[in-house]
Amino acid sequence: MNNFIFQNATKVYFGQGCVKEYLSCLTKKAESILLAYGGGSIKRTGIYDEVTDLLSAAGKTIVEFPGIMANPTYQKVQEGAKLARENNVDMILAVGGGSVMDCCKAISLAARYEGDIWEDFWARPGVIDVEPLPLGVIVTVAGTGSESNGGAVITNEEKKIKTGRDYPKLNPKFALMDPTYTYSVPVGQMVSGGFDILSHIMETYFSEPDEDNVSDDIMEALMKSVIRNLRAAIQNPEDYAARSNLMWDSTMAENRIIKMGKKCDFECHNMEHQLGAYTDCNHGRGLAVLHPVYYRHIYKEGLPKFVRFAQNVWGISREGKTDEQLALAGIDALGDFIKEIGLPTSLKELGVTDKAMLKEIADSCGISAGSYKKMTHEEILEIFNECFE
């Protein structure tokens, strides 16, 4: 394995009833709390009432910040930071999925930083030399794993750039994870989030080193868990075992553990982020379209790992197959799974109708240094074109 340093500052409270049990004591030192959430689904599900009742009973001043969108924008970050400063809040409490959590990480920095956080920390890597506003999260959607890292993906609408950075200082102080909070998530959204989990694992797995290592062993178990439990949750959205496993799969995919000693190849995320910046398409659905096509472009350069993927994740027999045939069978199994769970297989299904715009999007994509095959913007455009219909 490659050398690494591991740290994770987020304390996780996991299980049914954890919000009621722990929220009051975790917010004990805060008098004023910025309560951030998305489009209002937490009000329909009763989560909003449970959280605000607990905070009110503890004597907290609640400053509400609703309306965080699926692809949070830099403008929304600035709105939240302004609200936090004007009300002198002591803590941010993000209630929702990855978009809410990502937005609030950026807000926690922007509320305490006098400069332009986009230019200093997202346009390029920076060094955070201020103490961000404390952040706690209550997870309602399994997918991004954002609850246990400092990563935040933000879209700059003006520049048409969607990018993520991971700063350990932006890790939430705590994460409350009650799997029953995910029951009301629509099946389509659950499936999209589930594929995002699988994508995070695959993009770490399909990278060097390829010799025997702990991270790859863990990832094979996690991928099989996501596949098995996503199927179970589709059949019964209130299967507690399936929903709790998916929730922890999501955290394990992005709490940095499986990335230890790995190069990581997030080219598909780079491509999907820019698709999202131009079209606002759904993240997990976009990844589902891209992954099989991308892997057919790189499998020869990473052949041993793709053979291992076919055998150890999908259970495909080697009998009568060359390494290339086995690798392609594994990619085909991934494509079949995407169709099985109802995700799209073309950009047209995502609502992308203007093929002419694909070159501009391709040219704007970042190039992953961890890919088995060095991508070019020309080859990224080939992939987009192959994905179009």
Contact in structure between 302 and 267 (CB atoms under 8 Å) = no
For 82-129, what is each residue's pLDDT tens digit? 999 999 999 999 999 999 999 999 999 999 999 999 999 999 999 999
- Residue 4, pLDDT > 90, answer no
In a shared domain, residues 229 and 376 = yes
> pTM of the prediction?
0.94
Whether residue 203 sits in one domain with residue 173: no
pLDDT at 290 over 80: yes
Type of residue numbered 279: T
Instruction: Using alpha carbons, list the distances in angstroms from residue 130 to 84, 99, 109.
Output: 16, 23, 8
What confidence score (pLDDT) does residue 1 get? 72
Which pLDDT score, from 0 to 100, does residue 181 have? 97
Cα–Cα distance between 309 and 314 in angstroms, integer?
A: 7
Do 86 and 56 share a structural domain? Answer: yes
Query: Are residue 166 and residue 284 in the same domain, yes or no?
Result: no
Residues 152 and 58 occupy one common structural domain: yes
Neighbour-count burial for 291-314, b at 16+ CB within 10 Å, e otherwise: bbbbbbbbbeebbebbbbbbbbbb
| 290: CATH | 1.20.1090.10
82 and 128 in one domain?
yes
Residue ranges making up the domain that contains 123:
11-182
Classify residue 129: in a domain, yes or no.
yes
Structural domain includes residue 5: no
Q: Flag whether 3 is in a domain.
A: no
In a domain, 52, yes or no: yes
Among the three residues 157, 182, 207, which one is the final residue of a domain in this structure? 182
pLDDT of residue 326: 98
CA distance 212 to 301: 18
Please check whether residues 130 and 258 belong to one and the same domain.
no
Pair 360, 244 in one domain: yes
- Say if residue 208 is in the same domain as residue 149: no
Residue 309 resides in a domain: yes
Choosing from 182, 203, 229, the residue where a domain stops is 182
Whichever domain contains 52, its CATH number is 3.40.50.1970
- Asked if residue 252 and residue 111 are part of one domain, the reply reads no
Band of residue 375 on the pLDDT scale cut at 50, 70, 90: very high
What's the CA gap between 357 and 324, in Å, rounded?
34
**Is 336 a domain residue?**
yes
Q: For residue 1, is it within any domain? A: no
Of 148, 163, 182, the residue at which a domain comes to its end is: 182
Do 259 and 307 share a domain, yes or no? yes
Q: Are residues 206 and 295 in the same domain?
A: yes
Structural domain includes residue 4? no
**3-state class (DSSP) for residue 129:** coil
Number of domains within the chain: 2
pLDDT for 2 beyond 90 = no
Q: Is the pLDDT of residue 40 over 90?
A: no
pLDDT of 3: 84
Q: How far, in Å, are 81, 137, 176, 268 from residue 35 at the CA level?
A: 12, 10, 14, 33
